[in-house]
Amino acid sequence: MATLKKLGRSFYRRKNVVEIARDLIGKILVTGFDEILTSARIVETEAYAGVIDRASHAHGGRRTKRTEIMYAKGGHAYIYLCYGVHHLFNIVTNGEDVPHAVLVRAAEPLEGIEQMMERAGRKSSNKTDISLTSGPGNLSRALGISTHHSGIDLLGEEIFIASDGLRVADSDIISTPRIGVEYAGEDAMLRYRFILRGNPYISAKKIFKI
């Protein structure tokens, strides 16, 4: 595997969260805790544009104990529990008091696949199953990410994003509306979701046809 270069603060502090969501396609999400290292290449993201975005937890400047970390400077993890079951991993972006975030929805496993399957309760004899890291809940489970990690700095060693130098052509990144945000009115139509063209790990493929 090529040398990994951890993304620095400047990547996350940029002001355009949609651009950051697009730039994250092809980057590598790494977790290293419990003496287990797992990594996966990000193939699907969604941008949440803060106070003006009706789909965002920070819409209208809403600020609660749970969402407080969204108001931190870029490069922190915001993880919350969805439907009481799924731990969804978000990357906080922009500067302090600007609650932008990118939801990572799917990735392609690279390192530690055995450990990922163990975390997901799969039999290691099974051939690699797409659903292992397809969809935000599955991805977090495979990488061992839970709400307990919410607030950690992505410049540390527990959870971080890195580049292995892979360049993804603009033409290989497709934008679509976000998944499961019908409640957001006009904002539900924004093409803030990005997927790596043709990658099998992408979730909610129905939307592909749009």
Task: State the minimum distance, in angstroms, from the CB of residue 183 to DNA.
Answer: 6
Contact pick of 1, 2, 10, 64 for DNA (by CB under 7 A): 64
Task: State the minimum distance, in angstroms, from the CB of residue 203 to DNA.
Answer: 5
Residue 54 in the binding site for DNA (CB under 7 A): no
Please tell me what DSSP assigns to residue 126. Answer: S
The one segment of 18-26, 32-40, 48-56, 192-200 that binds DNA by CB under 7 A: 48-56
Contact pick of 2, 35, 65, 169 for DNA (by CB under 7 A): 65
Q: How many residues of this chain bind DNA (CB under 7 A)?
A: 37
Task: State the minimum distance, in angstroms, from the CB of residue 201 to DNA.
Answer: 11
Return the number of the residue (37 or 82) whose C-beta is nearest DNA. Answer: 82
Site for DNA in 4-43 (CB under 7 A): none
Site for DNA in 124-153 (CB under 7 A): 131, 134-139, 147
Please choose, from the candidates 111, 118, 31, 129, the residue with its C-alpha nearest in 3D space to the C-alpha of residue 77: 31
Task: State the minimum distance, in angstroms, from the CB of residue 188 to DNA.
Answer: 10
Task: State the minimum distance, in angstroms, from the CB of residue 169 to DNA.
Answer: 26
H, E, C per residue of the chain: CCCCEECCHHHHCCCCHHHHHHHCCCCEEEEEECCEEEEEEEEEEEEECHHHCCCCCCHHHCCCCCHHHHHCCCCEEEEEEECCCEEEEEEEECCCCCCEEEEEEEEEEEECHHHHHHHCCCCCCCCCCHHHCECHHHHHHHHCCCHHHCCCECCCCCEEEEECCCCCCHHHEEEECCCCCHHHHHHHHCCCEEEECCCCCCCCHHHHHC
Please tell me what DSSP assigns to residue 153. Answer: B
Contact pick of 32, 86, 110, 158 for DNA (by CB under 7 A): 86
Contact pick of 69, 159, 179, 202 for DNA (by CB under 7 A): 179
Contact pick of 1, 3, 35, 84 for DNA (by CB under 7 A): 84
Region label for 189, one of left (φ > 0), alpha (ψ between -120 and 50) or beta (otherwise):
alpha
Judged by the rule CB under 7 A, the positions of this chain that interact with DNA are 46, 48, 55-57, 62, 64-67, 80-86, 88, 90, 101, 103, 131, 134-139, 147, 178-181, 183, 203-204, 206
